[in-house]
Amino acid sequence: MKRYIMFIIVFLLVVTLNKAGATMEGYTVIAKSDKDDITVYAKKMGELYRDFKIDFKGETYFRPYWMNDTNPTYAPKIIYEDINKDTKKELIIILTKGYGTGVLDQEVYVYRYTNGLIDVIVDDPMAIIYKNVKTKLTTEKAEIRIGDKVHNIDITPLEIKPTNLFEDIAFGGVIKYEVKDHQLIATISAQISPAGFVGQLVIVYEYRDKMYQAKSIEFQPALEL
- Tens of pLDDT, residue by residue over 174-222, are 999 999 999 999 999 999 999 999 999 999 999 999 999 999 999 999 9
Q: What is the pLDDT of residues 55-64, one digit of tens each?
A: 999 999 999 9
The pLDDT value given to residue 26: 87
User: Comparing 108 with 14, which gets the higher pLDDT?
Assistant: 108
Q: Is the dihedral of CA 72, 182, 104, 199 positive or negative?
A: negative
pLDDT at 12 over 60: no
| Residue 108, domain member (yes or no) | yes
Residue 104 has pLDDT above 50, yes or no: yes
Q: 180 and 150, same structural domain?
A: yes
- Rounded Cα gap, residues 22 and 25, in angstroms: 5
Residue 3 has pLDDT above 90, yes or no: no
Mean pLDDT of 144-157: 96
Is the per-residue pLDDT at 135 higher than 70?
yes
Query: Are residues 138 and 108 part of one domain?
Result: no
- Asked if 139 contacts 196 with a C-beta cutoff of 8 angstroms, the reply is no
CA distances from 22 to 9, 17, 19, 25, 38 (A): 20, 9, 5, 5, 19
**pLDDT range class, residue 223, cuts 50, 70, 90:** confident
Dihedral-angle region of residue 66 (phi above 0 means left; psi in -120 to 50 means alpha; beta otherwise): beta
Residue 22 lies in a domain: no
pTM for the model stands at 0.88
Nearest CA to 131 among 203, 80, 25? 203
| Whether residue 137 sits in one domain with residue 93 | no
**Regarding beta strands 59-69 and 48-56, do their DSSP bridges make them parallel or antiparallel, or are they unpaired?**
antiparallel
Residue 24 has pLDDT above 80, yes or no: no
What would the DSSP string read from start to end of 52-106? EEEEETTEEEEEEEEEEES-GGGPPEEEEE-SSSSSS-EEEEEEEEEEETTEEEE
Q: Are residues 66 and 96 in the same domain?
A: yes
Q: pLDDT-based confidence at 25, cuts 50/70/90? A: confident
pLDDT at 76 over 70: yes
In this prediction, residues 6-11 reach a mean pLDDT of 38
**Which of 120, 147, 181 marks a domain boundary?**
120
Percent of the chain residues past pLDDT 70, beyond the cut: 89
- Domain residues for the domain of 101 are 27-120
Instruction: For residues 73 and 44, give the distance between their C-alpha atoms in angstroms, rounded to a whole number.
Output: 15
14 pLDDT exceeds 90?
Answer: no
C-alpha–C-alpha distance, residues 49 and 75, integer Å: 10
Q: Mean pLDDT throughout 157-179? A: 97
Q: Residue 149: which of 70, 55, 219 has the closest Cα?
A: 219
- Count of domains for the chain: 2
**Spatial separation of the C-alpha atoms in residues 12 and 179, rounded to whole Å:** 44
> Do 80 and 137 belong together in one domain?
no
**pLDDT confidence bin for 23, thresholds 50/70/90:** very low
Q: Answer whether residue 18 shows pLDDT above 70.
A: no
Task: Report d(CA 131, CA 124) in Å as an integer.
Answer: 11
Tell me: do 100 and 35 sit in the same domain.
yes
Mean local confidence (pLDDT), 32-39: 97
Alpha carbons 176 and 173: distance in angstroms, whole number? 10
